[in-house]
Structure 1
Amino acid sequence: MNESNAWGKSAMVYSTGTAADSIPAHRVLRNTYALLALTLTFSAAVAAASAALKLPHPGIILTLVGYFGLLFATYKLSNSAWGLGAVFALTGFMGYTLGPIVNHYLAMQGGSEIVAMAFGGTALIFFGLSAWVLTSKRDFSFMGGFLFAGMIVALLAGLAAVFFQMPALSLTVSAAVVLLMSGMILFETSRIVNGGETNYILATVSLFVSIFNLFTSLLQLLGFMGSDE
């Protein structure tokens, strides 16, 4: 029933590797985390406004079109100053779609606890996995092909769950997405640390989308466990 699991099962975004190849990894990491903090704050503010105004969810079709359109624009503009504007447009749009989803869970019995647990779980997973990669500097680039294939399967399965009203499949997809997004955090952070990603805009988008999908998937799983159904 939750449309959030039918779209944006993260995006494998890669830099085109231009003159930025000489940028030190620590600088890319610093810029990525700075932009990630700004976009998360901005998206959260938009989500809060969307929830407070009780704006309706745009629906699965408009959500997919808006998401992939803005993602494409961000990728094309990632090596220019316009790329920053595209990032905030994308993350703001995602925040807008998140507002109605959060309202849905807040309306449930114990909804505040569900949202808080999903937020805490997302933060714990992100910081825990990031700290592991940053301290170990382990290379997780070998996971790329598996993650890409997994996200395609999850996206298609999520769409099927929405259109054919299959709650069990939707929950299965949510559980799979939690694992896939955890893998994406390892993969992208590893690429930054080991010099495989030199474009901080693309790195930010990858991590942001992973965090977003991780949060919405945890919301659905916790919401189901906390429901009376």
Structure 2
Amino acid sequence: MNPVSQIPRTGAAVARDEGLRSYMLGIYRNMGIGLAITGVVAMLVASSPQLTALIFGTPLKWVAMLAPLAFVFFFTFRIDRMTTATARTAFFIFAAVMGVSMASIFLVFTNTSIAMAFFTASAMFAGLSLVGYTTRRDLTGMGNFLFMGLIAVIGASLVNLFIGSSVLQMVLSVVGVIVFAGLTAWDTQRLKSEYIAYGRSEAGDKLAIMGALSLYLNLINMFQLLLGLMGERE
């Protein structure tokens, strides 16, 4: 075999690896900005007695709780009609809306509990995302199973808003952590596959924004569920 013939292929492989790393770093960067926006907005709302009374002391609390879910559905179905810049802006607006919704945790749990739950969730996320990025096992089948589990958890959680069962909430929290942990690995592998399929095209860049949203939601949900399980209340 002629060694010279291998040079273009090797160069192409190196370029693809560098492009993939840049692509994934862009996703994590957008995700990180979204998390920062959420944290800042949540702390600002929680530090204002007037805002907390207005939002969480009136029926507006239902709007604050359900608005992020409605926003996700809207974002998912409208992203095809958005430019990449618009999609990124919409994601950051969603992160701010999520911050309003999550402000209540500062009123219920101690700051130490919030910090511990966040660092625990972040460590889990980092490890599982690394697994998804490096594994050679096809996680597609697991993703389908986890998606069904996610739908079940969301449906049962909405029901429990009205029932208020502490036992059901604990079960849902444990199952939810497992589901979002698995989805973190699956989403990371999926994003790699999308890069290989679309590269840095307009479609690929918009899928990257959706990917940042997916990973953001996985971490946020693991954090909230862990906080409910291990958090110390005020």
How high is the TM-score relative to the length of structure 1? 0.78
> Distance in 1 between the 2:218 and 2:79 partners?
20
1:31 aligns with 2:26: yes
Number of positions where the alignment pairs a residue of Structure 1 with one of Structure 2: 197
1:87 aligns with 2:86: no
The answer for the alignment partner of 1:69 in structure 2 is: 70
Q: Deviations over 1:166-185 (max 9, x none)?
A: 11101111111111110110
State whether residues 132 and 184 of structure 2, in contact with CA within 8 Å, keep that contact through their aligned partners in structure 1. no
Offset, 1:116 = 2.0
**Greater RCO structure (CA 8 Å; 6+ sep):** 1
> Distance in 1 between the 2:190 and 2:133 partners?
11
The answer for the alignment partner of 1:129 in structure 2 is: 128
> Distance in 2 between the 1:39 and 1:137 partners?
29
> Distance in 1 between the 2:69 and 2:122 partners?
25
- Unaligned runs of at least 5 residues, structure 1: 1-23, 106-110
The runs of 4+ residues in structure 1 deviating greater than 4 Å are: none
Matches within 5 A, 1:91-102: 91-102=95-106
Structure 1 counterpart of 2:227, which letter?
A: L
1:217 aligns with 2:219: no
> Distance in 2 between the 1:61 and 1:146 partners?
30
State whether residues 149 and 179 of structure 2, in contact with CA within 8 Å, keep that contact through their aligned partners in structure 1. yes
Offset, 1:128 = 1.1
Q: Percent identity?
A: 25
Moved more, 199-208 or 129-138: 129-138
Structure 2 counterpart of 1:155, which letter?
A: I
How high is the TM-score relative to the length of structure 2? 0.76
* SS of residue paired to 2:93: helix
Change (3 A) 1:72 1:157: closer
Q: Deviations over 1:126-160 (max 9, x none)?
A: 11112223333543222222111111111121122
State whether residues 64 and 100 of structure 2, in contact with CA within 8 Å, keep that contact through their aligned partners in structure 1. no
Moved more, 152-161 or 169-178: 152-161
State whether residues 158 and 173 of structure 1, in contact with CA within 8 Å, keep that contact through their aligned partners in structure 2. yes
> Distance in 2 between the 1:213 and 1:33 partners?
17
* SS of residue paired to 2:39: helix
Offset, 1:193 = 2.2
> Distance in 1 between the 2:63 and 2:106 partners?
19
> Distance in 2 between the 1:170 and 1:144 partners?
24
Change (3 A) 1:25 1:142: farther
Q: Considering only CA atoms, is the larger Rg found in Structure 1 or Structure 2?
A: 2
- Unaligned runs of at least 5 residues, structure 2: 1-18, 198-203
Offset, 1:61 = 5.2
Offset, 1:60 = 3.6
The answer for the alignment partner of 1:201 in structure 2 is: 209
Give the helix-richer structure, 1 or 2: 2
Q: What is the root-mean-square deviation of aligned Cα atoms in Å?
A: 2.2
Matches within 5 A, 1:154-169: 154-169=153-168
* SS of residue paired to 1:59: helix
Offset, 1:211 = 0.9
